[in-house]
Structure 1
Amino acid sequence: MKMNSEWREKFVYPFLGIATITTIIYLNFNDQFNFEFPIVFWQKKMGFVGVNSTHFVIINKHDHDQLMYVNGWNSYWLMEESVWGPSRSKVSKMLKKGAEMGLNVCRTWGFSDGPRPTSLQISPGVFNERVLKGLDYVIVEARKNGIRLILSLVNNLNAFGGQAQYVKWAQEAGVNITSSADPFFSNSAIKGYYKDYIKAIVTRKNSLSRVRYSEEPAIFAWELINEPRCDSSSSSILQAWITEMVAYIKSLDQKHLVTIGLEGFYGPNSADKSRINPGDWAALLGTDFIQNSALEGIDFASVHAYPDSWMPHANTTEKLDFISRWLESHISDGEKILDKPVLFTEVGYPLHVKGNDANYSDSLLKMVYGSIFESAKKGQAGAGALIWQLLVEGMEEYGDKFSLVAWKHPFAYKLIVEQSCKLRRIVRKKNSAAALNGKDPCSNIVT
C-alpha cells in the first residue's frame, strides 16, 4: 500500500496536474496556436438533423425525435479566417455570439478553388492541408458552441473560384469546351473534378476531433452549389446534374441532409408562378424552384430573398409587398406540393437606407421572421431563415451592404434574439425538452 501511495504521489498526481493545466490552456487559448490537438474528449453531444415531411427533426436514437426550427445566419468567411492562427479568435467569437443570440445554424463556404494562398482546392484533386485544417477548426468550434453548419460546396459566382475555375481547369487540361460556365453542369471531366472534391470533403477525418465529416453531427447539411444559374436552354442539364450529384453525395454519406442552394426563382415549367418572381428575367436563368426541389434526395428546399438587389428601381412598399408574396408562395409550395421543409438560407438585410425609408430594413426582417413564426405556429413548411450576413469586429473586409455586426445595431439584434426565443418556445411546447445553446438569451424576453 505504501508503494502504491508513493507511486501515485511521484507519477500519477503530477501527470494529472500537467494534463489538467495543458487542457485548460488549450481550451482557453487554442485559437492562438498553430499546432493541432485531439479534443474528442470534450466534444458536445449532438444529434443528427433529419426531416419528417415538412419539418426538421433532431434524431434521437433512444427517444422520440425532436422538432427543430432554424434561426440562423451566414458568415461565409469562417474557413478563410481559420487558416491563420491569430484570426481564429474571430471565428470563435462569431460562433459564440451566434449561440448567445439563440441562433442554431450557420451557413458558410466549404469551398475555395484556384491559385489563391488560402484556396482549399489548388487544382483538381490537389488540396491545401492548411486550409482543410482551418475547416476542421470551424467544425470543431461550431460543435463546441452547439451550432450546426450548412456547408456550401461550390460557387456559381466567380468569387473564391466558382464553377468558372472548374471550366478553366478543364480547358488547361485540353478538354474541348467553350468558355461559357454551363459546361460545369454537362462536361464529364468537370463533373469528375467536382465529384473528387465532394469525396475529399465528405470523407475527410477532422484533424482535431478525429471525426469524419460524414459522421459529424455539427454539419446540418451539404449544399450542392451557391445560387446556380445557367442558360434557360440548359435547364434540363442542370436538373440532371442535381440528380447525379445528390445521388453521389448520398452514396458517401447517408446521415446528412442535402439541399441545392437555389435562389427560389420559378421557371417556365411553373408558368402560373412566374408572377411571383422579382422580374421576367428570373424565369430565364435555367432554374425552377419546384421542379428542382422536388427531386428525390433533395431533403429540403432552399430560397434566398434580396428585394434590394433584385428590384433596384422599386420603392420600399413594392419591395415589402414582393417579399410578403415570396415568403407565402414558397412556404405554400413546401406544404402543398413538395412536402419538404423550406429554409430561407439567405435573407438580405439592407443596412444603409436613407430618408423616409429608414425603417424599411427592420420592417423587412420583421416580415420574414413573422412569416416563419406564423408558419411554425401552424405546423407548416416554413422551417426557418438565415440572415445575410453577420460579422464580428475586425472582419469588415468581408462586408457588403447586407452585412452587420449585430450587437452594434440594437433593433436588429433584438429582432434576431426575439425570433430565436419565439421559435424555441414553440419547440418547447412540442418537445419534452429543448435546451438553448450556451447562455440563455430568452430569460428576459417575453414572447
Structure 2
Amino acid sequence: MMRMNRRTLLAGSAAGAASLWLPACSMGGEESSAPGFVTREGMQLLRDGAPYRIVGANMWYAAWLGADADYGDRARLTRELDRLQELGLNNLRIMAAAEEGPLNNSIKPGFTTGEGNNGALFEGLDFAMAEIGKRGMTAVLVLSNFWEWSGGLQTLLYRATGDYMDMGDPAHPWPEFADATSEIYANEQAVSLYRDHVRAMVDRTNSITGMAYADDPAVMSWQLANEPRPGGSDEAIARNRDAYLAWIASTAELIRSLDASHMVSLGQEGTQATNGSEELVTAAHSHVDYVTAHIWPLNWGWVDGKDLEGTWPAGRQLVRDYLATHSRLATEMGKPLLIEEFGFPRDGETYDPSTTTQFRQLYYDTIYDAVEASWRDGGPMQGSNFWAWNGEARAAHEDYRFQDGDRAYMGDPPHEPQGWYGNFDSDTAMLNLIRGHVDNKCLGLTEPCPA
C-alpha cells in the first residue's frame, strides 16, 4: 500500500490555457517524403510509398538497457531486439522520458532529475535507437507519462509547486490522483519544464550514429505522453478541457517546428480517458497525425482475473465494442488508428512464466482479428503494439515486486507485479500466435507486400 507523501493539495492555475494555445498546423507526417520515413496518407500509414502495417510491442525500458552504466545491459538489449526482429515485429513503443522525483514506485534513474539531465540515459536511448534502426524497425518515442511509474506529469507539477500526490494513496482515492495530475495543463511553469525536455529530445543528435533525431527514419512518431487524461472526474474533465486541448495543440506545433519530418501522436487511451466522451477524443486528436486507443479489460473491470472463464465472454464483447467505436471515430476523422497498448493477465492472474496463457491468447486473437479485418477491408486500424515485452527478464523476488536497484527490467513497470502482463521469451504459445499475425500483415494488398 502506498503512503501519503503529499503536503498540500495541488493548487491549479486557471491562467495559462490561452497562452499555451498556438495556431493549428498541417500534419508533419503527411508532408514528409524522405526515404524510410513513416508517413500517413488519409487513413493509411506508408513507408517509402508502401503500406506500413504495425505489428509491434511496448518495450518502455529500452533506454535503460541501452545505458553504458551500472543499470544498463547493452548485450541483453541487442538479444531482445534480435528476438523481436526474428518474431517479425517492426515497431516498438519506448519511453524517451522519465522524471526522477519523490513519487513512490517511479523508476530510477530518470532522464531528468529536477537539477539537470542524466546524460547516460539519454545516451542509452541513442544506443537503443541505433540498434532499432539497424534492424529496419521503427519506434514511437514517448515524451512523458500521466502515471507515476516513470515520474511523469505529477513529478513536473512537484518541481513547479513543491507538492505531489502518490497514485494509490488511501488518503486520496480515485479519481483524486488523475484530477490532481491533470492540473498540469494550466500550470505554465510545469508545462515549461515539460517543454524543456521535449526540446532537448526532439532537437537531439544521436551520440552513437551522429544523426539528428529529426533526420532518423527509425523514429516513427513523437508521442506527447503515455495516456494523458484531461482528468478523472467529470468535473475535472470539464474544468481542464480548454487547457488540455491547448497543451496538445501547442506541443504538437512545437515538435513540428523542430522536426517537420516525423509524425506526432498523443498516446491517449480513447474514450476511457474522457469518461466516455467521443467528442473530446475527436477534439484531442485533431492536431496529431493518428488516433490511438489502449484496452485494459482487467484494469477497467471488464473481466475478473480469478474467473476468466466466467467473465471473458462478456469482456470480449466489450473489447469488440471498444474497437468498433474507435474505428468509427478514426474513420470520421479520416486518420489511421493504432491499438498501441493492449494487455491481459496470465491464467488465474498469476505471474510466473510457467503459468498458461489460454485467455490471453483469446484476447490477442480478438485484437488481431479486428486489425486483420481492417487491413483486408481498407479500414483505419493500421496495427497494434501489445503490452508488453518481458523477454529474458525474470522477477528478482518471490513476491514478484520490483525494488529500487533491480536491473531485470521487463514490460511490467515498477508499480506492477513483475510478470502480470508481459510476454516472456519462453511463452511459446503467445509467440506462435504473434508470428501468425505477422504472416497476415499483407491481407488485402494487391501491390507487393512490404517487408
Match of 1:82 in 2: 66
TM-score (norm 2): 0.75
Distance 1:261 1:255 in 2: 19
The structural deviation recorded for 1:161 is 1.1
Q: Is residue 340 of structure 2 the alignment partner of residue 345 of structure 1?
A: yes
Match of 1:217 in 2: 217
Match of 2:109 in 1: 118
Change (3 A) 1:212 1:287: farther
**Does the 8 Å CA contact 1:67/1:430 hold for their aligned counterparts?**
no
**Does the 8 Å CA contact 2:100/2:109 hold for their aligned counterparts?**
no
The structural deviation recorded for 1:122 is 1.7
* Aligned partner letter, 1:66: A
Match of 1:242 in 2: 248
Change (3 A) 1:329 1:48: same
3-state SS in 2 of match to 1:426: coil
The structural deviation recorded for 1:360 is 2.2
Match of 1:259 in 2: 265
Match of 1:274 in 2: none
The structural deviation recorded for 1:235 is 2.1
Change (3 A) 1:266 1:128: closer
Match of 1:426 in 2: 443
Match of 1:134 in 2: 124
Distance 1:418 1:267 in 2: 31
Distance 1:430 1:319 in 2: 35
Q: Is residue 137 of structure 2 the alignment partner of residue 144 of structure 1?
A: no
* Aligned partner letter, 2:427: H
Match of 2:174 in 1: none
The structural deviation recorded for 1:359 is 3.1
Change (3 A) 1:283 1:331: closer
Match of 2:360 in 1: 361
1:262-284 CA distance string (max 9 Å, x none): 1111687xxxxxxxxxxxxx338
The structural deviation recorded for 1:106 is 0.4
Q: Is residue 81 of structure 2 the alignment partner of residue 95 of structure 1?
A: yes
Distance 2:315 2:363 in 1: 9
The structural deviation recorded for 1:370 is 0.6
The structure with more radius of gyration = 1
The structural deviation recorded for 1:426 is 3.1
The structural deviation recorded for 1:431 is 3.5
Change (3 A) 1:267 1:353: closer
1:184-211 CA distance string (max 9 Å, x none): 1111112211111111000111111000
The structural deviation recorded for 1:228 is 1.2
TM-score (norm 1): 0.75
The structural deviation recorded for 1:290 is 2.0
Distance 2:448 2:303 in 1: 49
**Does the 8 Å CA contact 1:112/1:160 hold for their aligned counterparts?**
yes
**Does the 8 Å CA contact 1:349/1:387 hold for their aligned counterparts?**
no
* Aligned partner letter, 1:386: N
Match of 1:170 among 157, 160, 169: 160
* Aligned partner letter, 1:242: I
3-state SS in 2 of match to 1:310: coil
**Does the 8 Å CA contact 1:46/1:218 hold for their aligned counterparts?**
no
Match of 1:372 in 2: 371
The structural deviation recorded for 1:181 is 2.3
1:27-74 CA distance string (max 9 Å, x none): xxxxxxxxxxxxxxxxxx96000000001001x3xxxx1111101000
Match of 1:306 among 296, 311, 330: 296
Match of 2:4 in 1: none
Q: Is residue 69 of structure 2 the alignment partner of residue 53 of structure 1?
A: no
Distance 1:267 1:149 in 2: 23
3-state SS in 1 of match to 2:283: helix
Distance 2:319 2:123 in 1: 39
- Number of residue-to-residue matches in the alignment: 360
**Does the 8 Å CA contact 1:266/1:288 hold for their aligned counterparts?**
no
The structural deviation recorded for 1:117 is 5.5
The structural deviation recorded for 1:183 is 3.1
Q: Is residue 280 of structure 2 the alignment partner of residue 288 of structure 1?
A: yes
Match of 2:421 in 1: 402
Percent of counterpart pairs with the same letter?
Answer: 21
Distance 1:287 1:402 in 2: 31
Match of 2:390 in 1: 391
Could you tell me which runs of 5 or more consecutive residues in structure 2 were left unpaired when the two chains were aligned.
1-33, 102-106, 164-176, 305-310, 351-355, 396-407, 413-417
**Does the 8 Å CA contact 1:264/1:288 hold for their aligned counterparts?**
no
Q: How does 1:3-14 map to 2 (within 5 A)?
A: none
Match of 2:313 among 310, 317, 330: 317
Could you tell me which runs of 5 or more consecutive residues in structure 1 were left unpaired when the two chains were aligned.
1-44, 269-281, 436-447
Match of 1:16 in 2: none
Match of 2:322 among 317, 326, 341: 326
1:415-437 CA distance string (max 9 Å, x none): 101111100x337x4444623xx
3-state SS in 2 of match to 1:121: coil
Distance 1:248 1:198 in 2: 9
Match of 1:40 in 2: none
Distance 1:267 1:138 in 2: 30
Q: Compare the two structures and name the one with the higher helix fraction.
A: 1
**Does the 8 Å CA contact 2:203/2:212 hold for their aligned counterparts?**
yes
1:145-200 CA distance string (max 9 Å, x none): 11100111001011121111111111249xxxx99323311111122111111110
Change (3 A) 1:395 1:198: farther
